[in-house]
Structure 1
Amino acid sequence: MKHTFVLLLFVSVSFLAGAQRFGKTLKNTPGIVSYTYRNSFKIDVALTLDTIKTLGITDIEFSNLFGKTAAELRALLDARGMHCSSFGVSFDDLKNKTREVGTNAKTLGASFVRVAWVPHENRTVDAAFIKETADAFNAAGKVLKDEFNLSFCYHNHGYEFVAYENGTLFDYLVANTDAAYVNFELDILWAFHPGQDPAKLIKKYPKRFKLMHVKDLRKGVKGDFTGGTSPENDVALGTGQINIAEVIKAAQQSAIEHFYIEDESSAVKTQVPASLKYLKSL
């Protein structure tokens, strides 16, 4: 009986420790994507950071330096007790300015580098295109890991979920990238829009997703594989089509370390607080 009690106590403590770890990352301290406040950042970076901090958000994924050097932006963050955990860059910069990207990411204090779009004008998104992309990711990801100790993640954008063989081109991309150098940031809207279930994707690749964009899609909007929809189709979390609670639950059991609210709409002032309130209610 004594041994049973000790075992149950150990299991309970372990469970609570795990819940606390995941809760701190995925519920109590969500981050924000700088693109959400892009219009404000363009006008006044310092004031925008102050606005974000008043919401209780201190973790930011920057995809733009907004006219600052990485060092200047880092100083503004440090002065406010805020931090940049992920640095988003273009595909071209990842390929052609890999070390500059690595230097800027380290200066910002980021642990991750992210790309959210692979240009494909006049290209068919097929296996050949995805294989070229995977090769570029593997090469850049190796430099970022070996020389800067940074983790590279690719952010899905919808067009990767075209059917291919027994799965999708996204599955092909996962299979052809080296997990030591390439992982993924799940944008749940850009998984749902082309017909995928974000929670099931996390469960399918629980170790490959390291970051996550949490956003919701307006009810009634039909999806496709274009990777495009009106910014006004971003709505407050819990008011759209996506089962956010189910996604968060799946994320808690995965390797996702950071998640970020992203809202591209013009209603950020009201929708971001509403999204935070919803997340805290889960």
Structure 2
Amino acid sequence: MSSSSRRDFLRGGAFAALGLALPFKGKSSLIESFAASKKLNAFGLQLWTVKEDMARDAKDTLKKVASYGYKQIESFEGKSGMFWGMSNKDFSKYLDGLGTRIISSHCNISTDFEKKAAEAAEIGMKYLICPYKGPQKSIDQFKKFADEFNKAGEICKKNGIRFAYHNHDYSFKPVDGQLPQEVMMNNTDKDLVDFEMDIYWVVAAGESPEAWFKKHPNRFRLCHVKDYAKTANGHESVQLGKGTIDFHSILKAGTANGLRNYIVEQEAFTGSNPLDSAAADAKYMKAFAI
């Protein structure tokens, strides 16, 4: 018996013994709880969370982010590009030295997309993501977006990576009697286009993230873990665990329906420090189990 097998055997025996020692209620509550809880293997940070710090000193900010426990990075395309003034290989090498890696990036899909897809693939990224399209007056415009996404998906597939679209609340508000999110999902090829659910914006739109995961299994492969709190002026993003979102049930439903990438994002709120928030959010995610 290997050492790992021996550990598994002893661990299993210990839990069985504890279960027998407890009052019988059909199943041991301890075993039931143990079986039901599962730590997330890895989680990432969308760099928009610390965008001002990245603009000031990208390398120092990435070093701090990695020290908080983030093993994955999702970038975005700013003035200095997805790789913050570095080449794709230099950016990837720097992250490797910090014990983290870039898995995805938001980017402008209307310019040089083939080049971006090739550079992303070259360093082992998984996704390029369209972050925003904005509200539209006609549902036909969202059908055109779906066509655009299919073309972007073909480019990504050719390079061995995937394409996804990231939602805001506008895609869950009816246009011409239809939900744009539904139209985009129904008019995109599931073999080419995935979706990144921003949980915050789904909740802000009054929709159920669990229902969307279940209705469209294996389409939402990534998510933004972002908490929600009501304010006098509407709502704002707050540190994880300090808002109203039930991430346990949402991420459990998502994982059961194909969700594989859990990416923290937090918008700045009154009195917040982005790096402090990133650290607090990482602490929450490290203790989180579904």
Residue 137 (structure 1) aligned to one of 137, 142, 149: 149
Alignment of 1:9-28 (within 5 A): 23=38, 27-28=40-41
The SS at the match of 1:163 is: coil
Instruction: Compute the displacement of 1:270 (Å).
Output: 3.0
Provide structure 1 residue ranges, at least 5 long, that are not aligned to the other structure.
1-8, 10-15, 224-228
Instruction: Compute the displacement of 1:281 (Å).
Output: 4.2
Instruction: Compute the displacement of 1:277 (Å).
Output: 3.2
What's the TM-score once normalised by structure 2's chain length? 0.78
- The residue number in structure 2 matching 1:185 is 196
Q: Does 1:150 align with 2:135?
A: no
The SS at the match of 2:110 is: helix
Provide structure 2 residue ranges, at least 5 long, that are not aligned to the other structure.
1-11, 13-30, 78-82
Instruction: Compute the displacement of 1:30 (Å).
Output: 1.3
Whole-angstrom CA distance in 1 between matches of 2:191 and 2:280: 37
Whole-angstrom CA distance in 2 between matches of 1:172 and 1:191: 16
* 1:222 to 1:202, Cα distance in 2 relative to 1, 3 A: farther
The SS at the match of 2:185 is: helix
Query: Is 1:142–1:181's contact at 8 Å kept on the other side of the alignment?
Result: yes
* 1:200 to 1:222, Cα distance in 2 relative to 1, 3 A: farther
Whole-angstrom CA distance in 1 between matches of 2:102 and 2:151: 24
Letter in 1 for 2:262: F
Whole-angstrom CA distance in 2 between matches of 1:108 and 1:267: 31
- The residue number in structure 2 matching 1:66 is 84
Whole-angstrom CA distance in 2 between matches of 1:108 and 1:23: 30
Whole-angstrom CA distance in 2 between matches of 1:182 and 1:214: 21
- The residue number in structure 2 matching 1:55 is 68
Query: Is 2:68–2:283's contact at 8 Å kept on the other side of the alignment?
Result: no
The SS at the match of 2:195 is: strand
Query: Is 1:62–1:86's contact at 8 Å kept on the other side of the alignment?
Result: yes
- The residue number in structure 2 matching 1:43 is 56
Q: What is the percent sequence identity of the aligned residues?
A: 27
Residue 94 (structure 2) aligned to one of 55, 76, 95: 76
Q: Deviations over 1:108-159 (max 9, x none)?
A: 4211111110156xx51x31110110010011111210x2011101001111
Instruction: Compute the displacement of 1:173 (Å).
Output: 0.9
- The residue number in structure 2 matching 1:257 is 260
Residue 127 (structure 1) aligned to one of 97, 121, 139: 139
Whole-angstrom CA distance in 1 between matches of 2:274 and 2:38: 24
Instruction: Compute the displacement of 1:95 (Å).
Output: 3.4
* 1:247 to 1:167, Cα distance in 2 relative to 1, 3 A: farther
Whole-angstrom CA distance in 1 between matches of 2:254 and 2:181: 19
- The residue number in structure 2 matching 1:214 is 225
Q: How many residues align?
A: 248
What's the TM-score once normalised by structure 1's chain length? 0.80
The SS at the match of 1:95 is: coil
Whole-angstrom CA distance in 1 between matches of 2:288 and 2:160: 36
Q: Does 1:111 align with 2:126?
A: yes
Q: Deviations over 1:188-231 (max 9, x none)?
A: 011111111112211221210011100012234676xxxxx7xx
The SS at the match of 1:85 is: strand
Whole-angstrom CA distance in 1 between matches of 2:49 and 2:111: 27
Letter in 2 for 1:254: N
Q: Deviations over 1:17-51 (max 9, x none)?
A: xx99x946xx2421111111211111222211210
Query: Is 2:210–2:249's contact at 8 Å kept on the other side of the alignment?
Result: yes
- The residue number in structure 2 matching 1:6 is none
**Root-mean-square deviation over aligned CA pairs:** 2.5
- The residue number in structure 2 matching 1:273 is 279
Letter in 2 for 1:215: K
* 1:51 to 1:140, Cα distance in 2 relative to 1, 3 A: same
